[in-house]
Amino acid sequence: MQSRTGRIVRDPNILAGSPGGWATESGLKMGTRLFVGNLSFNTTEVDLRNVFTEAGLNCTEIKIVTERETGRPRGFAFVEMADQASATKAMEALNHRELDGRELNVNEARERAPRVGGGSRY
């Protein structure tokens, strides 16, 4: 896919062997940022960090996404790993693992799709 902006593109010819085939236009793997979904609203960053630590994994950053208005967690987080190997180990070790009564969904994070701007109805 051609783009001059450096954004993430999906092209099976660039990284046929990578999970999901996501890459940057230069062909580099994204790989160190993980999406962790299906979190309980009671799960904290400390709880999530403990799960990664217990699995022998070192994460550099954890961000539980919250609603703007209420500050309430939205049920997912992004976890930055030190390198691609750690990210792969985390996906293998923690995907479908239970935390706070919920089965985690751990995948490689994807670039957010461009949003189409709203407008006036008039």
User: How many domains would you assign to the chain?
Assistant: 1
Determine the Cα–Cα distance for residues 69 and 92; give it in Å rounded to an integer: 35
pTM of the model: 0.70
Q: Tell me the pLDDT band of 30, cut-offs 50, 70 and 90.
A: low
Summarised one tens digit per residue, pLDDT across range 69-95 is: 999 999 999 999 999 999 999 999 999
Which residue has better confidence, 14 or 60? Answer: 60
* Cβ 82 vs Cβ 26: under 8 Å: no
Summarised one tens digit per residue, pLDDT across range 47-71 is: 999 999 999 999 999 999 999 999 9
DSSP 59-113: EEEEEEEE-TTT--EEEEEEEEESSHHHHHHHHHHHTT-EETTEE-EEEE--PPP
Determine the Cα–Cα distance for residues 97 and 3; give it in Å rounded to an integer: 37
Q: Which domain holds residue 44?
A: 31-108
Instruction: Answer whether residue 14 is part of any domain.
Output: no
Instruction: Answer whether residue 70 is part of any domain.
Output: yes
Instruction: Answer whether residue 26 is part of any domain.
Output: no
Please, what is the average pLDDT of the chain? 81
Specify the CATH number for the domain of residue 67. Answer: 3.30.70.330
Determine the Cα–Cα distance for residues 33 and 50; give it in Å rounded to an integer: 17
Instruction: Answer whether residue 104 is part of any domain.
Output: yes
Instruction: Answer whether residue 121 is part of any domain.
Output: no
